[in-house]
Structure 1
């Protein structure tokens, strides 16, 4: 097979000048400090001792990077430290490491899950959706391994493709005896998949020795998937040994269990573990369906991110509903048992909702987004190909060779775990701990359809992402009256082995705009100018970060240099003991924008105990948001985000709304020639003329932001 021409290698990730990094550090923390704190931080950062120590570390880092470039050309100065920061993390990866993407529904597959129609009964839509997505994923792997995959390109620049090597056949393994760090292991020869259904494990080969898909069409896969569902339904008490729940444990606990399995006289469980960990990916077929109500959307987000927890304790209720027998009471039935969180997982519900959950030590969201985009598009186009041969291909199907089926296991084989008293008790306690963890979080989705990127660019003259970041700050300030450290990742894949850099949203320009919304003396003209200036500043910071010119990664690498080479011989530079360093690394608001038409939504857990995790997708005419927190008024926060979007739109369109209302006779003019109404959802708000006579009217959305208080009751000095 002919390979695509080799794309030019991206340049190495630059190490920014030290003084530039220190200037950026001070600029990012200053808006979040009071005057006294900031003076103390500046003294520490600008002290001769700090600069001298950091200069030595900076030179060591450049020397380290120079040697690395010779030994490992496809590397970056942050690579090792990045992996260590993830792999040394001991807490559960659930809600702490793994994010999820939910794909858009497949319009070519009718939902028959409630009607028992179709060739596979209630499971027809699930089987067909899963088969199409798996088939498309195998094409993606074939192109990746054959070297024919189209390179990622942005504005004519080729991006680093190194992360794709770790996408399939990879697994996060807990530390071995005496080790401190987990391992990211990748089997580049993997040819099989794992399918989970009702906590049971099955496997079969899907690629031949030349990395061509064994199953030529999705239809060829369907019977394998349906036979697994049939077997799972026929299994007595299938959730009795949900070994996947071990991957929800802390790394220390999981390490002890894995070591116990390795040292057992019967190596059956160890062989099963190796089969799972070496698989290309895991397919999770869930035996539940989710509707489109707000509550069901929240439950689906939870199921995709961490799994649901459902335990029946009421015997009368259970038997009346014919859902549980006495031995099934006080037993976990949630989807949290039908997962293997240490690997890439493709999740499909009973009614065909689909998503991807991934342990992302080895790759970032942009890499998985490419996978999601390609497999979703290909699965949709497969329907069109059945109608016409003149359909463009995502993958190079026409040149695909016939698969070699010799010595392949193409019929699903069940993995039969052997559980003793230690493993059974460990399973029970793992299940109770993940149930505890899930119960500590809540998830709220918002599908804002009043406007999207087109309106933001045309009406507000702002970059959509920068504008949306300002909205998050408005909502948070409206709820808590303060600003917190906010994180947004900037992709640095324009560089070899580039990962991300940290964009910091809270700037002086951002604070000025947010406060102006709650300032009775500010005019609409002020607010329009301020939001544009704040968005412009955010876009500038984003561009710098995408060029590798941020502050977080460089400073962290300098800290790692000290920790690795000088801990016993050099004092810790004062910057790292200053409270501003802790502040920079306490991301109360953690956000990420991952937009593509193939995605319904996506999300992740908060990164601090009192924080919010905000995943959002900006489309041309809508914005989808998933917010997670540890029950920190998440519903209220999301409602404030929605009203903030609306209030800013009112500010920019106040005159047009007033003129339309006057023309229709709905409003009565007041002093200054403006109008007001007691019934409209779009009441006249703060005037462009800030005189006292023109401050009386406020939009209902602004009143909502103020929580029922007036301008005179809200302090904007914080």
Structure 2
């Protein structure tokens, strides 16, 4: 085969005259260019590490300090107060230097020490400044003199031109809330969910825990918070994600959708070429740390740690717990099409393949008619089933030979690509069912055509639509969202397509073709694959999904109500849920703690005493709209307070989770913690934020709107709700539940959400203003 021949660097034959060695100059050239690229990346990383290490100062500031110290010395002024003289006396090489040389070396050493001391001082001051969160609790649109002064100081000490990880060392640690505050806030959060007797019992359990056990557990958490970068994140990753033994498909992984109304090209290979190239351009920016750190108000940095494992990463199954395997670089991707796996190089001659070259690679795969090897087509179902089953199969059947080599290629790939043979996306003739099918395809597909263990699987459909399925343990949705926004914008507004819908540019004909991966799947292994597939299909078939755009109004009108859009939607979800089920439930809204180093998420418990009072007023015909509006404002204010508490480290759920982990390590049983951690989240919600609004001009091009993404239901009898506020006039919803539950129906719930949003807006009587 041609690709096999090109992969050989040299050939030799044994003859009577000796060994005849024939070198392939092209192969050696590729080896040289590959090594050159590798060294360039190492030097770039070294340079970036140094620049980040001295931030908020800059390397050039060292020269300024040196010149300043030297200048004062020649002016016969000693700014070191004798330190330079002491250094001069103790120089180990003083016997080999002149008097002037000793003075210069001593001054350089003092200047460097002073420079590092200044860096550490600036970093400490910046960390203390970033620990202040009073600005978040001020009324929107009004800023106190204290906050103005604080913002000025932050800008002074923040340095200039930060790289992606520049602020990491300056971010404060996540604080550990007091047990008293957590107990009080917890009891307040469950009050609307319990009758008097149940609440009295829970109060007694909480009091008993606080008196007898909490102080000892809290001591260990305090100790960890002083020692570790973040007292929550490593345990959260391990116990919530990696130790889960159930399928990660549907239960953990989530998805992202393409543009709602636009498909840039219907040519599958061309869309794959452009979008994969855009993803690789993002990876290059990420590895060079050229991405700007996400900032609030253009000066308050958020933690960037989660970006590190976006590419070249896979979740590796284990018997008791999984692990995350990350590589610093990868030169290939793995592509799945019609049951076959292909390896595609993404570099050639020391450069990234351009979109046209990638299009030809994908077209070659699409044109390949070779059948799958025995067991190959459903192989990825192992990643969709039970984790322990997959771990045992991996250990038994993928430890050597072709299977080990091919599995290694998958797990070390930059990411996984599926050329899907179906057509998905919004169809005007059947908008409801088409979007529902699109969501389900991205969430689970056929259960064997996505590699659910990869950091993300990128899917390109036959009609040119794209999507993504992401593994959750390594990072949260906003990280993938940032990548997704950048990819969509790069694809449409920078790379583009020609008139026929193909990628622009020219292709090098010498680029190696895709390489079929080889597997030897035994009959016993094929049986395990089938059993995992059966489990996964049962789970996928039970998912009831409904995705719909809410076009009646959006952020623009909500702001006219002088209300937070997120609070407005969350209270509408409470009203919709009550109308749907006739009761309140424990509600999870994901918030982030990335104002702190290595921060991930915190829970906002959106079902509050105030929101339930408002919902009851909406169901009470004796209440006036004025009374309902007053209760709504109280509920919105309470929701905003809870959201701010969560963002500033004063949430309750991560604290309770860590107290529970410590209790398990100490072998101490707590009825209170056990009950709290076992409470089901029957309404799990999350907003998908738009983080790079400058990439899309929704005023002039409103059709280029993202549909957002979604996830599966958390509880068997509950709902999962994801929403994205797009522009001023659109909110996209993604609802999930299970067919097997007689209490839930995604389309019924969607109807209640629409009605609740409109009913709440009507309270403000904007048409009369």
TM-score range (shorter-chain normalised) is 0.7 to 0.9
Aligned equivalent of 1:451 = 553
Is 2:522 aligned against 1:420?
A: yes
Residue pairs, 1:122-201, within 5 angstroms: 125-155=267-297, 156-175=299-318, 179-201=319-341
Aligned equivalent of 2:219 = 59
Q: Taking structure 1 as reference, are residues 76 and 173 closer, same or farther at Cα in structure 2, changes over 3 Å only?
A: same
Deviation at 1:243, TM superposition (A): 1.0
Among candidates 243, 253, 277, match of residue 379 of structure 2 = 243
Cα deviation, 1:139-166, whole Å, max 9, x if unaligned, reads 1111111222211112221111111111
Residue 599 of structure 1: SS of its match in structure 2?
A: coil
Is 2:119 aligned against 1:8?
A: no
Aligned equivalent of 1:623 = 731
Deviation at 1:241, TM superposition (A): 3.1
Deviation at 1:438, TM superposition (A): 1.3
Aligned equivalent of 1:710 = none
Among candidates 579, 595, 606, match of residue 713 of structure 2 = 606
Is 2:737 aligned against 1:595?
A: no
Is 2:358 aligned against 1:221?
A: yes
Aligned partners of 2:464, 2:233: CA distance in 1, in Å? 40
Residue pairs, 1:515-554, within 5 angstroms: 515-554=616-655
Residues 76 and 498 in structure 1, CA contact (< 8 A), matched pair in contact too: no
Aligned equivalent of 2:367 = 230
Among candidates 335, 338, 341, match of residue 452 of structure 2 = 341
Deviation at 1:362, TM superposition (A): 0.8
Is 2:492 aligned against 1:367?
A: no
Among candidates 249, 257, 261, match of residue 397 of structure 2 = 261
Residue 541 of structure 1: SS of its match in structure 2?
A: helix
Deviation at 1:484, TM superposition (A): 0.4
Among candidates 251, 256, 270, match of residue 96 of structure 1 = 251
Aligned equivalent of 1:30 = 191
Residue 315 of structure 2: SS of its match in structure 1?
A: strand
Residues 247 and 386 in structure 2, CA contact (< 8 A), matched pair in contact too: yes
> How many pairs does the alignment contain?
576
Residues 587 and 607 in structure 2, CA contact (< 8 A), matched pair in contact too: yes
Q: Taking structure 1 as reference, are residues 285 and 386 closer, same or farther at Cα in structure 2, changes over 3 Å only?
A: closer
Q: Taking structure 1 as reference, are residues 213 and 593 closer, same or farther at Cα in structure 2, changes over 3 Å only?
A: farther
Aligned partners of 1:371, 1:275: CA distance in 2, in Å? 23
Aligned partners of 1:385, 1:435: CA distance in 2, in Å? 37
Residue pairs, 1:313-352, within 5 angstroms: 335-343=446-454, 344-352=456-464
Q: Taking structure 1 as reference, are residues 202 and 236 closer, same or farther at Cα in structure 2, changes over 3 Å only?
A: closer
Residue pairs, 1:637-676, within 5 angstroms: 637-653=749-765, 656=768
Deviation at 1:488, TM superposition (A): 0.8
Deviation at 1:466, TM superposition (A): 0.8
Is 2:576 aligned against 1:576?
A: no
Aligned partners of 2:375, 2:579: CA distance in 1, in Å? 46
Aligned partners of 1:433, 1:501: CA distance in 2, in Å? 31
Unpaired runs of 5+ in structure 2?
A: 1-43, 49-160, 500-507, 691-695, 697-704
Cα deviation, 1:417-436, whole Å, max 9, x if unaligned, reads 21221122223222222222
Q: Taking structure 1 as reference, are residues 272 and 655 closer, same or farther at Cα in structure 2, changes over 3 Å only?
A: closer
Deviation at 1:347, TM superposition (A): 1.0
Q: Taking structure 1 as reference, are residues 238 and 513 closer, same or farther at Cα in structure 2, changes over 3 Å only?
A: farther
Aligned partners of 1:602, 1:384: CA distance in 2, in Å? 24
Q: Taking structure 1 as reference, are residues 68 and 345 closer, same or farther at Cα in structure 2, changes over 3 Å only?
A: same
Aligned partners of 1:183, 1:409: CA distance in 2, in Å? 35
Residue 377 of structure 1: SS of its match in structure 2?
A: helix
Residue 716 of structure 2: SS of its match in structure 1?
A: coil
TM-score (norm 1): 0.76
Residues 237 and 474 in structure 2, CA contact (< 8 A), matched pair in contact too: no
Q: Taking structure 1 as reference, are residues 77 and 448 closer, same or farther at Cα in structure 2, changes over 3 Å only?
A: closer
Deviation at 1:599, TM superposition (A): 2.5
Q: Taking structure 1 as reference, are residues 145 and 208 closer, same or farther at Cα in structure 2, changes over 3 Å only?
A: farther
Residues 139 and 213 in structure 1, CA contact (< 8 A), matched pair in contact too: no
TM-score (norm 2): 0.71
Aligned equivalent of 2:72 = none
Deviation at 1:654, TM superposition (A): 8.3
Residues 593 and 615 in structure 1, CA contact (< 8 A), matched pair in contact too: yes
Residue 734 of structure 2: SS of its match in structure 1?
A: strand
Aligned equivalent of 2:132 = none
Aligned partners of 1:141, 1:30: CA distance in 2, in Å? 47
Aligned partners of 1:602, 1:638: CA distance in 2, in Å? 16
Q: Taking structure 1 as reference, are residues 562 and 348 closer, same or farther at Cα in structure 2, changes over 3 Å only?
A: same
Residues 373 and 519 in structure 2, CA contact (< 8 A), matched pair in contact too: no
Deviates more, 1:95-104 or 1:80-89: 80-89
Aligned partners of 2:288, 2:531: CA distance in 1, in Å? 44
**CA RMSD between the two structures:** 2.5
Aligned partners of 2:210, 2:180: CA distance in 1, in Å? 12
Aligned partners of 2:473, 2:461: CA distance in 1, in Å? 26
Residues 189 and 608 in structure 2, CA contact (< 8 A), matched pair in contact too: yes
Aligned partners of 1:542, 1:139: CA distance in 2, in Å? 35
